[in-house]
Amino acid sequence: MNPCFHFPSILTDETICRSNIRRMAQKALAHGLMFRPHFKTHQSVEVGKWFKDEGINAITVSSVTMATFFADAGWEDITIAFPLNIRELDEINQLACKIQLNVLFDMPAQALVAAGKISHLVGYFIKTDVGYHRSGVEPNDHDTIQQILRATDGTSLTFKGFLTHSGNTYQAKSINEILLIHNEATRLLYRLKMIYQDRFPGIIISTGDTPSCSIAGNFNGVDEIRPGNFVYFDLMQYHLGSCRFDEIAAAVICPVISVYPQRNQALIYGGAVHLSKESLISKKGNLIFGLVVPFINGKWGNPEGDDYLVSLSQEHGIFTTESNWSKLLKPGDIVAVIPVHSCLAADLLRNKSTLNLRK
Amino acid sequence: MNPCFHFPSILTDETICRSNIRRMAQKALAHGLMFRPHFKTHQSVEVGKWFKDEGINAITVSSVTMATFFADAGWEDITIAFPLNIRELDEINQLACKIQLNVLFDMPAQALVAAGKISHLVGYFIKTDVGYHRSGVEPNDHDTIQQILRATDGTSLTFKGFLTHSGNTYQAKSINEILLIHNEATRLLYRLKMIYQDRFPGIIISTGDTPSCSIAGNFNGVDEIRPGNFVYFDLMQYHLGSCRFDEIAAAVICPVISVYPQRNQALIYGGAVHLSKESLISKKGNLIFGLVVPFINGKWGNPEGDDYLVSLSQEHGIFTTESNWSKLLKPGDIVAVIPVHSCLAADLLRNKSTLNLRK
């Protein structure tokens, strides 16, 4: 028995990861796009090196803490793709004197406070809400845009362009819906660029969630993409059609604890603190928290059937033993769980137990 | 500005915690129950000391890792309330030579492997499924019970009794339903005790989720209770009726990043990696991930209205600004979030940022 598999561990497959990275880098190159991958998915210095091997030098993160972590690991061009937290200006100043840093504004108040406190050159994007309604300025709200631009005029803050995250692709019901969201995001951002580029030559538009970047073939008007999840993919992306099953590069390895043949279920050591409570609705309409697949010779295999995790508590995971394979499982066996959302599973397990299947 | 509140931090209120601990300890005493609190909620050596101050010497945990952590902190009587993971028998042996350890079996296979490998005295409970259908032997499945008892006969494993966790109280629609679940669990476990106590004098029944232990007034037949969540409580318990709002002892303190008056929403730095994606259905039928309340003079206040978190991504939390108070929030303000599930929020933040409001 491998001692690493006594308890839930995340296992990444370096070969698949590197192939996912290379494919996205080549797609960006083919479309003339700058590629600034989001590192919130892996939060790993080692996986970062695999990006560097593909010639990537600019990255995206979602917190100042993560920016500091990757700056310490040698990354010198980082966009913090989260509207500026005006309570972290000291940390931002410290970072900005070491690296090329970009931040986001979606309110004049953030720009005003930052303009008064930031003493090093910092780039900024105006976060634009093109339909996800999480954060961002509405694309026709020129009054707010102008206030942000005025607040930073003549300061060490340089306007870089318009940026969005179309997270609503994650709720899309079809590939076609993902493409419609992607095209509309591009259209709205491009219109903004056209309006402001005379005053601010060189501004760009930055977009690119994983579903759009994986599926779309038309990036006309886009300058930069920032997908992150594609490095691992996961069950959500597989269900959306963003990836093939054999492109998924991370799984959570769990021991089987008990089996309950009378109700076609089994218990794994693997719960909300390992996989997160991110869920999906399966094709049959059930709430699911992951897909259980075989784990053989140190690698996870293809699904044998609808062996879905149907409930998670803190440490317990219950899955339905639908396939002939899963009905034969017994205590002490090891299974792999394809997580619904690899970003959250990786965040939960990176300080507990992370393993890498080497090339 | 307090530097601790630059990013999401969990804040516990020692006065409320100690009062929650004392109240449950006194309730156990009044009903003649052994009190073996579940430490998975706080996973904190310091909070553990507050239990010790109330005379508590026996505890419950949900993993071997947690048992080792608390054994190292001086706890000498621990039940691991998770069916035995036969891959962790070496760790269990190491623990059992230092402390009084109890484990759970719900399959003969676990008992057989453990009987062959465990070399120190270990107690065990038969985990019984009285309706939650997560794990456990069905209460009328005497064949399985007998196989477990036979497998441990003449070994260093001592049968301690029947144990359950009625986690289905968390889905209850009313206080009455919680009481029905509690009474049925007690009835089924007590019947088992009656059947087996002649052969195994001194066996006990152990029960006690937080909703049952908080609400029930009748514990006839119960020997031991193991609630955990009550130390902090949370929004879920408040909605179930297990606690008053002023008995909630933990909140996640978050900075406001942006406000969006046109859609009555605001953005906090506080997402799935801080609060977990545990959700509730509000009384109005909406999916919610926490309740935003004022944070004044280092303490959280009462709710001002239905200022619920309505979506969470990795680091972002969006809440609806329903109250007059929340409509006036601006970037840089600090708010408190009452988490849906304090166990998961505490697990997520305990290694990131934990603060304690001292007595």
Question: What's the confidence (pLDDT) of residue B208?
Answer: 84
Reduced 3-state DSSP string for chain A: CCHHHHCCEEEEEHHHHHHHHHHHHHHHHHCCCEECCECCCCCCHHHHHHHHHCCCCCEEECCHHHHHHHHHCCCCEEEEEEECCHHHHHHHHHHHCCCEEEEEECCHHHHHHHHHHCCCCEEEEEEECCCCCCCCECCCCHHHHHHHHHHHCCCCEEEEEEECCCHHHHHCCCHHHHHHHHHHHHHHHHHHHHHHCCCCCCCEEEECCHHHHHHCCCCCCCCEECCCHHHCCCHHHHHHCCCCHHHCCEEEEEEEEEEEHHHCEEEEECCHHHHCCCCEECCCCCEECEEEEEEECCEECCCCCCCEEEEECCCEEEEECCCHHHHCCCCCCEEEEEECCHHHHHHHHCCCCEEEECC
* Chain A stretch 151-190, residues whose beta carbon is closer than 8 A to a beta carbon of chain B: 167
Angle at A290 between CA A253 and CA B345, to 5 degrees: 85
**Contact B6/A at CB under 8 A:** yes
**Contact B91/A at CB under 8 A:** yes
The residue of chain B with its CA nearest to that of A320 is B134
Question: What's the confidence (pLDDT) of residue B283?
Answer: 87
Mean pLDDT of chain B: 95
Q: Residue B301, SS3? A: coil
Strands A309-312 and A316-320: antiparallel
Given pLDDT bands bounded at 50, 70 and 90, which one contains residue B351?
confident
Contacts of B279 in chain A (CB under 8 A): 277
Angstrom distance (rounded) from CA A340 to CA A280: 7
Can you name the residues that pair with A59 across neighbouring β-strands? A78
Closest C-alpha to A38, from A62, A54, A56, A16: A62
* CB atoms closer than 10 angstroms to residue A151: 20
B327 with B278: CB under 8 angstroms?
no
Q: A221 vs chain B: nearest CA distance in angstroms?
A: 27
Positions of chain A with pLDDT lower than 50, given as ranges: 1
CA A336, chain centre distance (Å) = 21
> What are the sequence ranges of the domains in chain B?
3-9+244-357, 38-227
Does domain B3-9+244-357 fall into CATH 2.40.37.20?
yes
Question: What's the confidence (pLDDT) of residue B93?
Answer: 96
3-state helix, strand, coil in chain B (%, to 5): 35, 25, 35
Task: State the best of B103, B104, B135 to mutate against chain A, taking most chain A CBs within 10 Å.
Answer: B135
Residue A18, both tokens: 């590197």
Question: What's the confidence (pLDDT) of residue A1?
Answer: 43
Q: A195 vs chain B: nearest CA distance in angstroms?
A: 24
Q: A7 vs chain B: nearest CA distance in angstroms?
A: 8
Angstrom distance (rounded) from CA B110 to CA B83: 8
* Interval B136-195: pLDDT, tens: 999 999 999 999 999 999 999 999 999 999 989 988 989 999 999 999 999 999 999 999
The model's pTM: 0.96
Q: Residue B209, SS3? A: coil
Whether A332 sits inside 8 A of B263 (CB atoms) is no
* Interval B305-318: pLDDT, tens: 999 999 999 999 99
Question: What's the confidence (pLDDT) of residue B358?
Answer: 66
DSSP string, B69-124: HHHHTT--EEEEEEE--GGGHHHHHHHHTTSEEEEEESSHHHHHHHHHH--S-EEE
Whether A315 sits inside 8 A of B82 (CB atoms) is yes
Whether B314 sits inside 8 A of A83 (CB atoms) is no
Question: What's the confidence (pLDDT) of residue A352?
Answer: 72
Question: What's the confidence (pLDDT) of residue B181?
Answer: 95
User: Is A198 exposed, middle or buried (CB count within 10 Å of its CB: 0-12, 13-18, 19+)?
Assistant: exposed
Angstrom distance (rounded) from CA A152 to CA A148: 7
Considering only residues B283 and A222, tell me which one the structure prediction assigns the higher pLDDT: A222
Given pLDDT bands bounded at 50, 70 and 90, which one contains residue B359?
low
* Interval A124-183: pLDDT, tens: 999 999 999 999 999 999 999 999 999 999 999 999 999 999 989 988 989 999 999 999
Tell me the fold of B38-227.
TIM Barrel (3.20.20)
**Contact B267/A at CB under 8 A:** yes
**Contact B134/A at CB under 8 A:** yes
Can you name the residues that pair with B269 across neighbouring β-strands? B316
The residue of chain B with its CA nearest to that of A314 is B344
